[in-house]
Amino acid sequence: MNAINPHIFREYDIRGVAGKDLTESLVFDLGRIFASRLRKELSLVTPPRVAVGRDGRLSSPQLAEKLAAGLAQGGALVDDVGLVPSPGLYFAMHHFKADAGIMITGSHNPPDYNGMKMVKTSRPVYGDQIQELKQALMAEAFEDHPGGAIHKADILDFYLQRLIVDFKPGRRVKVVLDCGNGASGVIAPQLLEKLPGIEGEVLFAEVDGRFPNHHPDPTLPENLHQLRQRMQETGAEIGIAYDGDGDRIGALDHQGKIVWGDRMMILFARQILATRPGATIIGDAKCSQVMFDAIAQAGGNPLMWKTGHSLIKTKMKETGAPLAGEMSGHLFFADRYLGFDDALYATVRLLEIIAQSPATLAERLSDLPEVHATPELRIDCPDEKKFQVMARILQGERDKGSDFSDVDGVRVRCDGGWWLLRVSNTQPALVARVEANTLERLHEIAQEVAALLKPEGVFLPNWE
């Protein structure tokens, strides 16, 4: 076996350059190990069932094929659902009552990257579990089992039916969707056709792993230009964009302004809380204070939690939360839906909310206080140092008696705003974000954060 790059085994997934770090033989061996471990873990009499899907990257078909073959050799029954968005794979797990699912996807990373997102119904796959897979792979601890097989299955019709099953039609709404040549393109046009009263068009639905039109990451404003322009040309009142594997949503209002994940959450929370008063609604530590306050005002129980789909899903189960979301556009509905992050389903819910009222998206959020925020600021800090820096800053806030949350890094509430500092899971960096009631306070708070970092020898970048 070739040398394994240990850095591809990350907190929430496995990710690397296809053909270099993530080779066909490595993916095959991971499949064997995953299946045999799953067998043991579940102590099943019959072979475990694993759904496999893939995104539209050029390297994905070969990697998915090898993964399926490896899983079968390790003794799993594989439901290979082919090219689907990540939520389509999660839906397939539900549909086939699979014990686990693996998606070959590079999400929003550059075209030459690819990766594996793994989900088990018994417990989420992240952190130590991924490290254990790495160890087993390095030790070549393979155990093959009989009974494995691969079954190719088409899931898209079932998935589409589930997405639209209880959509409540209302007034006419004109929308533009932008798939960015990502995997959502296999279903977004059909979805748009099936929703009564919703009309519009879909940009870049042709799945193309080279991403020739723009990069499929709706959190970067430069990727929303074409959507904004097409909305203007067609008079659409809302624009919706997806990331490469369709688990994150981005939106533009009728003025072409970005509606971030936490703003969308407010709309969804208000709708859900109307019938489920007191429900817990979860947002990650990057979300605006405006969101947490709006959830409380609407009669909900706002809960701040850690970023990461495995962690969020676990917390949702634990608290019975009907809704959770991340600033980045991962939105999880357990209300009328299955509890995973699905940008296509979020689309259905968003369009339903807009169709139910004469007001536009912007009007429905116009009662919220205006705040100013920095984007997510990446602060270079070596891996061997970042945790100590973080620990000292957290201790400092504790000593000062600050009003803070340490649920994910440290988020400190201060006069007229808050700041967040956390360790990057993926890079030698800290990540910061500041929000304030006024632009002036924003700068002041940012300077306070910079002053905390300076003695540590790390520096807040300029964001303007």
The residue count for the chain: 464
Is residue 60 near Zn ion by the rule CB under 5 A? no
Residue 260 contacts residue 290 (beta carbons within 8 Å)? no
Binding span for Zn ion by CB under 5 A among 148-156, 225-233, 241-249, 420-428:
241-249
Is residue 208 near Zn ion by the rule CB under 5 A? no
Instruction: Give the CB-nearest residue to Zn ion.
Output: 107
* CA-angle at 274, arms to 308 and 318, nearest 5°: 35
Is residue 219 near Zn ion by the rule CB under 5 A? no
The Cβ of residue 304 has, within 10 Å, a number of other Cβ atoms equal to 17
Nearer to Zn ion, 237 or 245 (CB): 245
Least distance to Zn ion, CB of residue 328, Å: 9
Is residue 247 near Zn ion by the rule CB under 5 A? yes
Alpha-carbon gap, residue 457 to 384, rounded angstroms: 14
Least distance to Zn ion, CB of residue 25, Å: 26
Nearer to Zn ion, 107 or 374 (CB): 107
Question: For tokens 């984007």, what's the residue?
Answer: 375
Is residue 280 near Zn ion by the rule CB under 5 A? no
Binding span for Zn ion by CB under 5 A among 107-115, 340-348, 417-425, 434-442:
107-115
Which of 373, 397, 392 shows the shortest CA–CA distance to 381?
Answer: 392
Query: Which residues partner with 284 through β-bridges?
Result: 305
The Cα-based distances of 241 to 91, 217, 343, 345, 454 in angstroms read 20, 8, 9, 13, 38
Give the CA radius of gyration of the chain: 22
- Residues numbered 248 to 267 that lie near Zn ion (CB under 5 A) are 248
Q: Which of 107, 109, 223, 280 binds Zn ion (CB under 5 A)?
A: 107
Count, residues near Zn ion per rule CB under 5 A: 5
Active site residues: 107
Is residue 223 near Zn ion by the rule CB under 5 A? no
Nearer to Zn ion, 55 or 435 (CB): 55
Least distance to Zn ion, CB of residue 248, Å: 5
First to last CA, the chain: 48
Nearer to Zn ion, 247 or 435 (CB): 247
Residue 422 contacts residue 410 (beta carbons within 8 Å)? yes
Alpha-carbon gap, residue 184 to 56, rounded angstroms: 9
Nearer to Zn ion, 59 or 107 (CB): 107
Which of 237, 232, 195 shows the shortest CA–CA distance to 354?
Answer: 237
The Cβ of residue 398 has, within 10 Å, a number of other Cβ atoms equal to 12
DSSP-derived 3-state class of residue 151? strand
Q: Which of 245, 262, 284, 335 binds Zn ion (CB under 5 A)?
A: 245
Nearer to Zn ion, 245 or 352 (CB): 245
Binding span for Zn ion by CB under 5 A among 12-20, 99-107, 394-402, 431-439:
99-107
Is residue 243 near Zn ion by the rule CB under 5 A? yes
Nearer to Zn ion, 342 or 352 (CB): 342
Binding span for Zn ion by CB under 5 A among 104-112, 173-181, 232-240, 396-404:
104-112
Least distance to Zn ion, CB of residue 159, Å: 17
Q: State the DSSP code for 409.
A: S
The Cβ of residue 382 has, within 10 Å, a number of other Cβ atoms equal to 11
Which of 175, 225, 221, 220 shows the shortest CA–CA distance to 195?
Answer: 175
Is residue 352 near Zn ion by the rule CB under 5 A? no
Alpha-carbon gap, residue 323 to 283, rounded angstroms: 9
Binding site for Zn ion (CB under 5 A): 107, 243, 245, 247-248
